Chain A
Amino acid sequence: MRKRIVRTAGLVACSGLSGSVLANGWNMPVGVTDVSREIHSLHMIIFWICVVIGIVVFGAMFYSLFRYRRSRGAKAANFHEHTTVEVIWTLIPILILVAMAIPATATLKTMYDASEADLDVMITGQQWRWRYSYLGEEVAFTSNMATSRSQVSGESAKGENYLLEVDEPLVLPVDRKVRLLMTSDDVIHSWWVPDLAVKQDAVPGFVNENWVRINEPGIYRGQCAELCGRDHAFMPVVVEAVEPERFDAWLAERKEAAAQEALGVDREWELDELMERGEQVYSSICASCHQPDGSGSPPAFPALAGNQAILDDPDYHIDTVVNGVSGTAMPAFRSTLNPVELAAVITYERNAWGNETGDAIQPADIAELLDDE
């Protein structure tokens, strides 16, 4: 990291001071990347500049308010122009702004650094979850909020990381440059982790990029920052930063698990097994819209319990889940879920909440559908 003269000594002292004056939880986090530190120090510099200007301006104002009260016998003077003064107080702010713009420009350039990354991760926003794929590694998964609806409604006690916990965090290695590509399947989302100082909009049909090099292992939490519909508050981001060796091991493990799951496609599954697996998938993926009891919230999200259109026609049901419905909030799960998960969740929907079709949709059939020749 290049040292910049502008941002040394006194200015660093500012951010040091801030640590004690504004305890954590009140102020922007310093974060765990070089960029986040730079941003934090910019934030503190501009903050203190504002404080100083504020003291001068409000000081002059309140001095006048107390000193020149008519009740104290003040007589109004009769001046109303002074070109020199006016020029001075136009120029001084310009100088302050220029001084501020210099470090801000430098930081911005760092943030737009496009050098080669060690790892590329594609982040896809979906109403209302994130999907992460490690490019070139064949590892991809969705990350859903793990906080239970009963905590939200107040039926059970709220946990420590209420609304900021997920079923599967994004695992990243520390000390490596990770390039983050963002896009969206539906509306605009914004992927934000304050400790990483990364906030980038995920725009449907377009791809954005940002990057991060994390300095310390740890768990960093954030949220979707752009209003994306009903469950905007319920699509947290959790990043777990680990040592590179642990990361490599984790990645290998994920690949192995995916391979294992792929093997499961070929065997015959029992209804009970599918129901059990399906319930997990349903509660993490489907329940946020269609409700845990399958009652939905029509008209946007149709009920599944007692829904004759899907119960009478398994193919229609499968098609809807696999391919989604264009122009609606129903995404295509063909690439999000594997054949086992698809079969399980469809089976679950066909047999839960009083839906008693007795159908056990087999993963092998779904797999065949997916690679239809």
Chain B
Amino acid sequence: MASHLPPRPTAQQNQADAGGMAVDEHHHYGPRGLKRWLLTTNHKEIGTLYLIFSLTMFFIGGIFAMVVRAELFQPGLQLVEPEFFNQMTTMHGLIMVFGAVMPAFVGLANWMVPLQIGAPDMALPRLNNFSFWLLPVAFALLLSTLVMPGGAPNFGWTFYAPLSTTYAPPSTTFFIFSLHLAGISSILGAINIIATILNLRAPGMRMMDMPLFVWTWLITAFLLIAVMPVLAGVITMMLLDINFGTSFFNAAGGGDPVLFQHLFWFFGHPEVYIMILPAFGIVSVIIPTFARKRLFGYASMVYATASIAILSFLVWAHHMFVVGLPLVAELFFMYSTMLIAVPTGVKVFNWITTLFRGSLTFEPPMLFALAFVVLFTIGGFSGLMLAISPADFQYHDTYFVVAHFHYVLVPGAVFAIMAAVYYWLPKWTGHYPHTRLSQWHFWLSVIGVNLTFFPMHFAGLAGMPRRIPDYALQFADFNMVTSIGAFIFGASQLLFVVVVVLCVRGGEKAPAKAWDGAEDLEWTVPSPAPLHTFETPPHFEPHRH
């Protein structure tokens, strides 16, 4: 593949070692400037585009979250009207899920999957370009609904019918269209990743030799292929209900609003794992590097990831325990959900055993990866509590749930993405990120995240429903702490931008193998990685120890 690229000298690639700062002089042919970025088919450039896009969306979604937290700083309505508040919570969720977390993982996959398996590029480079450029279109459309008459979507990121159909603002059709585009983008990205991993591995690299980031992404891509069409189906049904008078979700015409929830969560629960499995992969790559010790239980990690993926299709109705399910359904979904704790537990035990008797150092990527293990596990505990169906009658739709999924998504998925960025920045830019600033970023983020989300457990248990712009007085203290934490967390992400910008512009030079415990193939190419790598496949030796 990538046959339109001219042949490259190959000598430097395999044995480029420390100091191999080969600046690629040859990539300046072809279009330049804006057009170069619009038309690029290079996996590294597309990866960079994805990451920049994701960071932008992270800040836009973050601003929406700040609006929400500012309004909730104290009881009463101070800053925004309830309609606008609902638009903010909805847009925050949609942007963070589909605009920030998913594209960030796709960006990392674009950059690192070919490098980790010794491939010259993604299998389908032009498709790769197309799937990226769908995203800015999709999200420009989604954001434009904010200024449409009737306002942006205001029915929560789960858009339950009939609030999102019969009672929805006129902009809903645009919302559906933008979600279709984002979905197509994810599907194309997934096809590309699967094709790359299955066909472009370096000679000698078997499936069970692949770094875990590659493994988890392969499984994630299969999940995307399986559930994105279901999301497309659901929103198509919504579109038909809204504009063409069908009654999929409308009781008046013989439809069923609960069907919407079944379909949505049949997509939605695997979607949750789409946002966490690559994070598992990242952490499984980073921890061994800084423990200078092979990952404990590589095979069981792969099997655990696969079983989590399979189980994710059998647990969807645990989001619907209070919707009026029959007893047998409650029991089935309670048991299957509890079962997920087993493979997830295996992963956590493996990480900790990897640390055990290692030789640990605490560079910024390691700090984020360790925080991931601790805080994700806390999110896992609240997940286990939520699985207990009778207790879920009390937890459901409260801030306890909000605390739970933010623990798995922010110090879970987002921290893993940040760990990955710190880990691979030397490879991308040729410079180490500024240590002191990175540490500040880490500690402020950890403090901010816990200050934000930990009190939400208490607010939820004490009875505060989610998605409300105003609350009773007994929740005031929790909310004030949460809001302060959110502002700290939000502001400290500016530091992250500073670190990244400084790192791109200069800093301590990184050798090819930037971390001394790092073992995967990406560390055999120079830092920064030249535009074209592995055009002649590297020789891969399993278990290089």
Contacts and interface: CB of A to CB of B under 8 A. Distances in A.
Interface of A: 25-29, 38-39, 42-43, 46-47, 50, 53-54, 57-58, 60-61, 64-65, 68-71, 74-82, 85-86, 89-90, 93-94, 97, 100-101, 104-105, 107-109, 111-112, 127, 151-154, 158, 160-164, 186-188, 190, 192, 194, 197-201, 203-206, 208-209, 222-234, 297, 299-300, 327, 329
16 contacts: A53-B381, A57-B348, A57-B349, A57-B352, A65-B370, A74-B360, A81-B299, A93-B342, A101-B338, A109-B327, A162-B75, A201-B323, A227-B86, A230-B83, A233-B468, A329-B167
A197 B394 contact: yes
Interface in B151-174: 154-156, 160, 162-163, 166-167
Interface in B277-299: 291-299
B296 A93 contact: no
B336 to A, nearest CB: 11
B434 interface: no
Interface in B355-373: 355-362, 370, 373
Contacts of A58: 374, 377
Given A46-B384, A53-B381, A225 B398 contact: yes
B543 to A, nearest CB: 9
Given A57-B352, A89-B346, A205-B257, A230 B86 contact: yes
A29 B330 CA distance: 23
Contacts of B361: 69-71
Given A39-B391, A69-B360, A78-B294, A61 B373 contact: yes
Contacts of A86: 297, 300, 346
B358 A39 contact: no
A78 B517 CA distance: 13
B359 A76 contact: yes
A291 B343 CA distance: 54
Interface string B460-471: 011101111111
Given A39-B390, A54-B377, A97 B322 contact: no
Nearest to A24: B462
A230 B163 contact: no
B296 A61 contact: no
A241 to B, nearest CB: 17
B251 interface: yes
Nearest to B396: A199
Indicate the member of A65, A223, A227, A228 with the most B CB atoms within 10 Å: A227
B324 interface: yes
B394 A28 contact: yes
The 5 closest A-B pairs by CB, nearest first: A205-B251, A233-B468, A208-B324, A77-B357, A50-B381
Nearest to A35: B390
A29 B463 CA distance: 9
A69 B76 CA distance: 50
B462 A104 contact: no
B545 interface: yes
Interface string B124-152: 00000000000000000000000001100
A227 B82 contact: no
A234 B469 CA distance: 9
Contacts of B323: 201, 203, 208
